[in-house]
Amino acid sequence: MTGHNGGAAGGEQAAALAPVREYLLHAARAEADRILGQARGQADQTLRQARRDAEQAVRQAREGGEAQAAPAAAAEHAHGREQARSIALGAQRQACEDLHAQVLAAAGRLRDEAGYERLMAGLSALAAGTAGPGATVTADPAGGVVARSGHAVVDCSLPRLASLAVDELGDEVSELWTP
């Protein structure tokens, strides 16, 4: 009988403990759900922070790359400007040389003009008067004259006068290539 009573007492105990067991099981599930919720919240927060950190790292890398590339880009841009300037100056120099050559050629053709003898007489008088008393005036092989005195040489040759004429144009020559 003792077994039967013990069995009944065990069943009664189990029945009496069932609400406690259910309460503990419910409390354990609630605690597990709370811990799981916290873990998910921490995981979400960690994930968001990792994304922010990754975005910041990418942004910093991009900015760093741009900062590193900026001097190289600026140097390349400056080099391009220098090349363009060099080309422009070369073209300007060539234009000046071409103009000078054309003026020299035009001055040389004056020797074939009908009024060249009158031009020579005027240049001779100008050169002799400028060189001073006792000046010797000689014809220049390229056209025009050169006067020499004890203290002066006055070059009124056609090439020299043509060069002076081009030089005298000064800034007006630059208008040939300035838009």
Query: What's the rounded mean pLDDT across residues 99-103?
Result: 84
For position 135, what pLDDT does the model report?
A: 93
Domain residue spans of the chain: 2-174
pLDDT reading at 156 higher than 50: yes
Mean pLDDT of the 5-34 span: 66
Average pLDDT, the chain: 82
Give the pLDDT mean for 146-171: 89
The predicted structure's pLDDT at residue 73: 83
Q: Whole-prediction pTM value?
A: 0.51
pLDDT given for residue 2 in this prediction: 47
Q: Does the structure show a pLDDT above 80 at 177?
A: no
> For 149-173, what is the mean pLDDT?
87
Distances (CA, A) of 4 to 10, 11, 13, 18: 10, 10, 14, 20
Nearest one of 134, 128, 172, 177 to 154, comparing CA atoms: 128
Hey, which residues does 154 pair with through a beta bridge? 147
The pLDDT of residue 100: 81
3-state SS of the chain: helix, strand, coil percent to 5? 80, 10, 10
Q: What percent of the chain has pLDDT over 70?
A: 79
- The answer, yes or no, to whether residue 14 has pLDDT greater than 60, is yes
| pLDDT for 19 | 67
Q: At what angle do helices 158-169 and 2-109 cross, to 10 degrees?
A: 140
